[in-house]
Structure 1
Amino acid sequence: MSGTLLDSSIGARRSVLEPLESRLPTVTRRAVMPAGFRAAAATVGIKLSGRPDLALIVTGLGRDDDPPVPAAAIFTTNSLPAAPVRLSQDHLARTLRTGSGSFGWTRAIVATSGSANAATGHDGDADQAAIAGHLASALGVQVEQILALSTGIIGSRLPVDRITAGIDRLAPEVNDSDDALEAFAAAICTTDSRIKVATTSVPIEDADGTRAFRVSGVAKGVGMIHPRMATMLAAILTDAPAQPATLDAILRAAASTTWNQLSVDGDTSTNDTVFLLASGAAGGPAIQPGSPSGAALARAVEAVARDLARQQAADGEGATTLLTCQVSGAREDAEARALARSVVSSSLVKAAVHGRDPNWGRIAAAAGNAGIPIDPDRLRIAIAGTLVFDGSVSGAQAFDRETVRAAMDAPELLVRVDLGVGDGVGEAFGCDLTEAYVIENSEYTT
């Protein structure tokens, strides 16, 4: 038996492609500002490079009576969370009497890059609070309505005076242009080689007719990326109307299949944060969980998150290849996702991808390390569309190595694994491991 992995021999089991791709709306890699948000960015001297390093996202239209908007967040699971993470958790909790720190209400996000403000003790907390307080005063809002993002060198404190002076310049300049959102995306970058932006629009039918909701996202992070119930730095904005708890459920579902399936180097950052904000500027009643409009918004958020995660994997530090592993035939989706994550996280697999080596044994070993039962007589593995292992017919398959090597010499490599025992599907994203990654990280602070 030869050919691609997902051929007719798999029969009625779900294709790995249908539930993971075609069910989601099409995403465009452009910065498009949803209604109800404004942004701006500037250089204040945090980064040694002199590139933009301070950015704001402000909600509302600039009126004195602009209300706060619903927000949800997922934060790092690292046991040493940075000061901006702790501040944002505290502020979200304070905006809801029964808040858990994962959702609430907000008026603005302040983002800095070049210094992580992590492992900086009480001084770092005081610095972050001072910046939030200054922005709140500049905007005329409550301090607990300010959220924060920071990225950069761990152990480095923020230059508060330069940042507050920058806020004074930026606050009057926030605007609702697409360029402003793109500037925000650029300002949060550190070792990224390019900005990460994605957008989609979703038509929703309700009693008031058909409306279109915009969902746009920005993200950064190409190193120290191995999220667990978190992400790097990202902000997703929508003009849809929704309550904080609804956004929380949508964001957590999206992260479980996208950012939590992303691994560049196996390290989880102290600063990982993703925000989802909904301005409600598109109008209409609040979207209800489980409703058709709620499902449509959830798919749109997942589509944007998935595309941003893929962009981050493709831009992994030193990377030359985006590695995608799609798994089918698992007992359940969670097991398929875990196995896919194990494959893209394997240093041996990543090194083989960089060397254009179709070494299916490394993929099989990484799959076996996922802690999921595997029947070797049903296991099938394909690399770049070529079946290289089929446990049902003697295991290793004859294939043209040079043809597969040539197929691996592309910007993206797809590895497919079928377990042959159920309908569970999942995918994960990673990249190859290169000499450039080692060099870049050995010289990061020098």
Structure 2
Amino acid sequence: MQVIEKESIIVLEGGNVTTPKGFKAGGVHCGIKRKRLDLGYIYSDVPAVTAGVYTTNLFQAPPLKVTQESIEKEQMIQAVLVNSGNANACTGEQGLKDAYHMQAAFAEKLCVPNHYVAVTSTGVIGVHLPMEKIDNGIQQVLLEDNEGATLFEKSILTTDTDVKNICVQFVIDGKTITIGGAAKGSGMIHPNMATMLGFITTDAAIGYDDLSAALREVTNQTFNMITVDGDTSTNDMVLVLANGEAKNQPLTKDHPSWSLFMNGLKLVSESLAKQIARDGEGATKLIEVQVKNASDIEVARAVSKSVISSNLVKTAIYGTDANWGRIICAVGYSGQPINPDTITVKIGPITVVENGLPTPFDEDEAKEYLQNELVQIYINLNQGDATATAWGCDLTYDYVKINASYRT
């Protein structure tokens, strides 16, 4: 397995959610979709301390309610069951019954208590789940031929063009700690959770309160800093399962290596978030907006998200048009206390605004830079020392095509 070192954290090329000790995963085609895999699972050999963050959409889908209720019982789960192709959202009382049914059926198959199974769904909203197909899939998904992290990664996709994964390792107290991640997300992506599912596994030993705090902090820096189209979905969540199989001394905020664990969790989350942003429906480019020298972190985050969410900025970058006025406009309507006379803006290495005023630049050089797959925008507010980064993608003709016929 090829490795890439980043400080004291190693990124494992080929690693995944099953690389941490005691985890396995798989996926199967049960018939919700026409051909592609549509039912997947993650399983831990032992119950795992589990923390989650969830969509802010008020129309929260039944599977999220069932999962939150299950985690609240003991702050632990042992398995996750995911179906794609059908969101089981806005489905009323029957939708809730179906989510409980999914949970109970998989728990029975695994011989674990019902509340040790988390369930989630993604896909078309407002359609009841085909429960007979899901029941048949549950009977098949644990078979050896259907086991493998890649099968799981494919089974959770909707309009995604590719799987999304990452795995890192580091050493704490002489024990090797591994964190693996998988995600899906392509459309309906916006800060505060979107059509996005993230699953993170680790063999670290850590308590629920500290794991929850770590996930919330990291989510605010990563998953909540991406956008594709400004829509926030009904089904999104990120779960972190920590089963303690690395046999390390339990991690807490007071542990001398806490920052190392946090950096590992952030690296996994940021990578997954960027993979989601780059795979935005119809996208050709990943856009990164870095804001620095803001008066505080909330200002930095708000400004970066305002710019990355601007459809005018996104379309200009798709068209390789260095239209800096759209960037300044998005900064201005962010609702933050900005001093327009101190702002400097760069598109890649090219300064386009300095101290709030346009500065001459080579249009051809800027156009060439905007042809890159990664486009970076740097905004210096010159009002403090806070920084934040947000990620998104360009807005293309294909986005309209994909979403004009999503249900067909």
Is TM-score (shorter-chain normalized) higher than 0.5?
A: yes
Would the aligned equivalents of 1:354 and 1:433 in 2 still touch at CA under 8 Å?
yes
Would the aligned equivalents of 2:193 and 2:233 in 1 still touch at CA under 8 Å?
no
Residue in 1 that maps onto 2:136: 165
Q: Runs ≥4 in structure 1, deviation > 6 angstroms?
A: none
Q: Which runs of 5+ in 2 are unaligned?
A: 1-5
How far residue 291 of structure 1 moved from its aligned partner, in angstroms, is 1.9
Taking the aligned partners of 1:151 and 1:421, their CA distance within structure 2 comes to: 42
Residue in 1 that maps onto 2:3: none
Q: Which structure 2 residues correspond to residues 257-268 of structure 1 after superposition, within 5 A?
A: 257-268=221-232
- C-alpha spacing 1:24/1:117, structure 2 compared with 1 (3 Å): farther
Would the aligned equivalents of 1:24 and 1:300 in 2 still touch at CA under 8 Å?
no
Would the aligned equivalents of 1:74 and 1:230 in 2 still touch at CA under 8 Å?
no
Residue in 2 that maps onto 1:57: 42
SS at match of 2:340: coil
- C-alpha spacing 1:31/1:45, structure 2 compared with 1 (3 Å): farther
1:251 and 2:215 matched: yes
Query: 1:229-255: per-residue Cα shift (whole Å, max 9, x none)?
Result: 677101001111111111101110110
Residue in 1 that maps onto 2:28: 42
Would the aligned equivalents of 2:204 and 2:242 in 1 still touch at CA under 8 Å?
yes
Q: Which structure 2 residues correspond to residues 294-373 of structure 1 after superposition, within 5 A?
A: 294-373=258-337
Residue in 1 that maps onto 2:88: 117
Taking the aligned partners of 2:240 and 2:373, their CA distance within structure 1 comes to: 30
- C-alpha spacing 1:265/1:336, structure 2 compared with 1 (3 Å): same
1:142 and 2:106 matched: no
SS at match of 1:373: coil
> What residue identity is the alignment partner of 2:42?
I
SS at match of 1:404: helix
Taking the aligned partners of 2:13 and 2:211, their CA distance within structure 1 comes to: 23
- C-alpha spacing 1:360/1:24, structure 2 compared with 1 (3 Å): farther
Would the aligned equivalents of 2:186 and 2:195 in 1 still touch at CA under 8 Å?
no
How far residue 370 of structure 1 moved from its aligned partner, in angstroms, is 1.2
How far residue 23 of structure 1 moved from its aligned partner, in angstroms, is 8.0
> What residue identity is the alignment partner of 2:96?
D
How far residue 421 of structure 1 moved from its aligned partner, in angstroms, is 1.1
Comparing 279-288 and 115-124, the one that deviates more: 279-288
Q: Which structure 2 residues correspond to residues 87-236 of structure 1 after superposition, within 5 A?
A: 87-95=66-74, 104-173=75-144, 180-204=148-172, 206=173, 210-228=174-192, 232-236=196-200
Would the aligned equivalents of 1:223 and 1:317 in 2 still touch at CA under 8 Å?
yes
In the alignment of these two chains, the number of paired residues is 401
Q: What is the aligned counterpart of 2:360 among 392, 398, 401?
A: 398
How far residue 149 of structure 1 moved from its aligned partner, in angstroms, is 1.7
1:429 and 2:391 matched: yes
Taking the aligned partners of 2:193 and 2:99, their CA distance within structure 1 comes to: 24
SS at match of 2:341: coil
Would the aligned equivalents of 1:58 and 1:174 in 2 still touch at CA under 8 Å?
no
Q: What is the aligned counterpart of 1:30 among 14, 19, 25?
A: 14
> What residue identity is the alignment partner of 2:103?
A
How far residue 31 of structure 1 moved from its aligned partner, in angstroms, is 3.6
How far residue 73 of structure 1 moved from its aligned partner, in angstroms, is 0.4
Taking the aligned partners of 1:286 and 1:426, their CA distance within structure 2 comes to: 30
Q: Which structure 2 residues correspond to residues 408-427 of structure 1 after superposition, within 5 A?
A: 408-427=370-389
- C-alpha spacing 1:230/1:163, structure 2 compared with 1 (3 Å): same
Taking the aligned partners of 2:122 and 2:136, their CA distance within structure 1 comes to: 19
The two structures, once aligned, show a CA RMSD in angstroms of: 1.7
Residue in 2 that maps onto 1:15: none
Would the aligned equivalents of 2:26 and 2:150 in 1 still touch at CA under 8 Å?
no
How far residue 260 of structure 1 moved from its aligned partner, in angstroms, is 0.3
Taking the aligned partners of 1:29 and 1:225, their CA distance within structure 2 comes to: 26
SS at match of 1:350: helix
SS at match of 1:429: strand
- C-alpha spacing 1:230/1:105, structure 2 compared with 1 (3 Å): farther
Query: 1:44-81: per-residue Cα shift (whole Å, max 9, x none)?
Result: 01112x11100111111xxxxx4x11000001110001
